[in-house]
Amino acid sequence: MNRLILVSNRLPFALERVGSGPWIVTSSVGGLVRAIEPVLRERAGTWIGWIGMAGDIPQAPLADASRNAGYQVIPVALSEAERDEFYYGYSNEVIWPLFHDLQNFCNFEPAFWQTYKAVNQRYAETIAQHCERDDFIWVHDYHLMYVAQALRERGVSAALTFFLHIPFPAYDIFAKLPQQQRLLRALLQFDLLGFQTRRDLRNFLQCVRRVLPDAAVHTIAGLHLIRVEKREVRVGSFPIGIDFESFEKGAASQEVAQRAEQLRAAFPGCQLVLGVDRLDYSKGIPERLRAFRDGLERYEELRGRVVLIQNVVPSRVEIPRYHEFKDRIDRLVGDINGRFSTDTWLPVHYRFRRLDRDDLLAHYRACEIALVTPLKDGMNLVAKEYCACRIDKSGVLILSEFAGAAEQLKRSALLVNPYDVEQVADTILKAFRMSKAQRSMRMKRMRQLISNENVFSWVNSFFAAASRSPSDSAQNPR
């Protein structure tokens, strides 16, 4: 079995300290980490990434973290200027908004691209120092799209694979990117490119056809191969899943059941509608609040009988646009509560902080309706986590048609266009009125699918696609 080298912008650890006290290492417990860690242990693996802080990296706590994790951890250091221009700049002020179809939010500052390339070169240098010829290298996400190009320039011929967690835009939007050709050529230095959905895959192929006249796209029995510069690149869609069982088990625990009960008891006679998001303009939070307000305005039936619990985790607060965005949310919540609240009913309960895991699961368990309405999203794990925690097989998922998850859940979720405030309001009413039998039939179907297509099968299907030769793949297309 080949050794696995996993490369991502962030390592699965964070380092924190109060003042000049000792460093504290906290591990990330996301689904991706849970799925990947056993594979890394089994394959004598290495995880390469940034620790999340600029400047020198304290080595001792990281060495401890690596020993405890059971695989090698290699940090990549970024200076403050690199963090600002690579991470906040090109990654999050150019690629992130553009790939979420929000080109007006982009800051196409030319210096950002130079730093993006330089940091990707640093990653390549670190990978080259630690990899051997037969290693399997798996690079993740939009921060590191230039890594394969930089590795090839260093003569690395190992198998290079890539997975994009965010959407890939259609040509009309991608064409705005000043570096469109360079970025596509860099991506085509990988041997396998994975996208979340068929939509993203289609968009990517369309961009290749339009931007690179020398590239030929072949589709053989459903499998896509791109031939360019005497290379052959496989491209596929691999919708990411969650660790269904751990959410289901967690939701069934006594602590979570108690917490959910307390939450329900706090709002007697009301159906609870849940929003859980990172603070990000792509998640459609103001649009959702406007839809909720519109529902209360037009449907008296909802007043006093629904409560929106909106939890927002602080994120990228260093970027000014995110501040403005938070102010908008604050104002809308104030407006709705000011206009509609009564002595006994407050329509929106808004929290701006990370919930701990039990609390998050209790919210999933307690809320009858989940409102997951991103303007665009690679997948959206909240939608899947919500269903996994509905162990009583009830609950309604209102889901944006522009979330990757909609491709899998469209038969059973209530799909909405998040920009259509009136339609979302009507759908809240529909969910509110939905019979128990309908809720249960839909929820059972979603749970079955999410349980089958979980994060472990996602990892396996990606590895399987990487290890098939193109001729095998043509016979067994995805």
Catalytic residues: 165, 377
Q: Site for ligand ADQ (CB under 6 A): which residue of 34, 176, 198, 278?
A: 278
**What span, in angstroms and rounded, lies between the C-alpha atoms of 436 and 294?**
25
The reply on whether position 237 binds ligand ADQ by CB under 6 A is no
Closest CA to 405 of 164, 199, 171: 199
Which window, 57-65, 226-234, 270-278, 329-337, contacts ligand ADQ (CB under 6 A)? 270-278
Least distance (Å) between residue 361 CB and ligand ADQ: 9
Please report, to the nearest 10 degrees, the dihedral formed by the alpha carbons of residues 34, 40, 45, 51 taken in order.
0
Q: For ligand ADQ, give the closer residue by CB, 74 or 313.
A: 313
Hey, which residues between 148 and 177 contact ligand ADQ (CB under 6 A)? 165-166
Contact 456, 464 (CB under 8 A): no
The reply on whether position 311 binds ligand ADQ by CB under 6 A is yes
Indicate if the alpha-carbon torsion angle 39, 42, 44, 50 is positive or negative.
positive
Helix (H) or strand (E) holding 433: helix 421-433
Least distance (Å) between residue 373 CB and ligand ADQ: 12
Which window, 53-61, 221-229, 291-299, 378-386, contacts ligand ADQ (CB under 6 A)? 378-386
Which window, 71-79, 300-308, 353-361, 427-435, contacts ligand ADQ (CB under 6 A)? 353-361
Please report, to the nearest 10 degrees, the dihedral formed by the alpha carbons of residues 333, 336, 339, 344 taken in order.
-90
Contact 201, 224 (CB under 8 A): yes
Q: Site for ligand ADQ (CB under 6 A): which residue of 85, 287, 385, 453?
A: 385
Q: For ligand ADQ, give the closer residue by CB, 151 or 391.
A: 391
Q: For ligand ADQ, give the closer residue by CB, 144 or 302.
A: 144
The reply on whether position 291 binds ligand ADQ by CB under 6 A is no
The reply on whether position 313 binds ligand ADQ by CB under 6 A is yes
| Residues near 379 by beta carbon (within 8 Å), at least 6 away in sequence | 165, 196, 197, 239, 240, 403, 404, 405
Tell the burial category of 20 from Cβ atoms under 10 Å away from its Cβ (0-12, 13-18, 19+): exposed
Q: For ligand ADQ, give the closer residue by CB, 103 or 380.
A: 380
The reply on whether position 130 binds ligand ADQ by CB under 6 A is no
